[in-house]
Structures are given as structure tokens and as C-alpha cells.
Amino acid sequence: MAKSILDASWHQIYTFLQYKSLRRGGIVLKVSEKFSTVTCSSCLSRCGPSGLSGLSIREWTCQICGAVHDRDINSAVYILRSGRGTLSEKTNSHKGSSGYNAMSV
């Protein structure tokens, strides 16, 4: 039951963001958080601790580039980086389109 309530809450927040962005001429994009805690936000390699035993590891070092990451901060930076990349691709492909106000992915 808690999962269904959580899903309904996220849907409601997304709906609010959609209509508010339409009023202001903005764009709303959903970014997948899949693998965000195990993907290095610097080099984008998937080398972080995974599995149930990896959940207790809060800080890890990327084996490829050597960057040290806090699990939560790395995830936030990765999601931000993904969102900005998606946003720039979508706006560049729709330049000149006056009817382009909001988009759901």
C-alpha cells in the first residue's frame, strides 16, 4: 500500500510541474534514476558498489577515473547531468517551434 501511495504522490507532483511549466512556457522532462548510485558522475562508468551488500557503502572511488564519490551526492549530480543533457537535446531539436511548451518522456 505504501508503494502505491508513493507512486500516486510522485504522479501528482509531476502533474503540478506540467501545468505550471505550461503557464510559464517551460519544459518538464522525466529523468530515469536507474543506476544513478553506481554510475560515476565524472566519467559515466558503472563501477560503484552494487547489490544489497553495496547499500552500506556510502563513499566509493571510481576504478576508471579515480574520483571519490559520496553515494547520494554522486547520484544527484548524475541525475542533474542526465537531465541537462536531455534538455539540451530536446530544445535543440525543436528550435523554431512556437507550439513547443512542455514534454513528458
Can you tell me which residue has the cell 504522490? 9
Q: Indicate the SS3 state at residue 39.
A: strand
The pLDDT of 56-82, averaged and rounded, is: 91
Q: Is the predicted pLDDT of residue 41 greater than 50, yes or no?
A: yes
The pLDDT of 15-30, averaged and rounded, is: 90
Q: Indicate the SS3 state at residue 65.
A: coil
Kindly state the percentage of the chain with pLDDT values over 70.
76
Q: Among 10-19, 25-34, 56-65, where is mean pLDDT lowest?
A: 25-34
Confidence band for 94, pLDDT divided at 50, 70 and 90? very low
Which amino acid type is present at position 85? G
Question: Could you tell me the residue ranges of all domains in the chain?
Answer: 26-93
